[in-house]
A = this chain, B = another copy of it.
């Protein structure tokens, strides 16, 4: 039976933009697992109450429910050890774990200000008040003012990707010759921006852009073919 995967959407149930959900989606595809997308909106807490909390990603694999993109990746790795590895063993896990923390503390914060107002615009009316209230509290300013100058934000994002750029001069993926979950984690916030904004993030000549395009084409174009506002 296909794994049920709850994915955040807005008014349009086909624009599935959440960065944490994209981590899980890429991990499911990496493991070559069948999954069924269940579109979910921010305020539909009842629909995922079975998971004991109110955020996505949530997966349901037969009788097993798992939440949180990191815990889901660990679950998939252990539950499907014969499928392509997301971590590459214990020492691989240490490296992927560092990249997780780097993405969470450097890349995600560089992307979020560029994304939030775009997310709000996509939302269903009933979700907008919830989103505005929680995000304005988090950033301490009105949604409309969070981004500031997008060109400056994009410049900072390009700079934040410096270690990846440096690494990509010698290998094709963060994971080496093929993606690991580290690639999915670094890719997910960029896919978020692809879904909800029309900004050009990287120059065509940037090694990050070439990697991004490889990630968009991976798994039969899962991310590249996804519906966005573009």
Contact = CB atoms under 8 A, between A and B. Distances in A.
Given A164-B101, A167-B101, A91 B174 contact: no
Copies, count: 2
A14 interface: no
A85 interface: yes
A91 B174 CA distance: 10
Interface residues of A, number: 32
A39 interface: no
Interface stretch (A28-36, A92-100, A150-158): A92-100
Interface stretch (A51-59, A124-132, A175-183, A193-201): A175-183
Nearest to A97: B167
16 contacts: A88-B89, A91-B176, A91-B180, A94-B174, A94-B176, A95-B96, A95-B97, A95-B98, A97-B176, A98-B98, A98-B167, A100-B167, A101-B164, A102-B163, A104-B163, A104-B166
Interface of A: 85, 87-102, 104-106, 162-164, 166-167, 170-171, 174-176, 180, 182
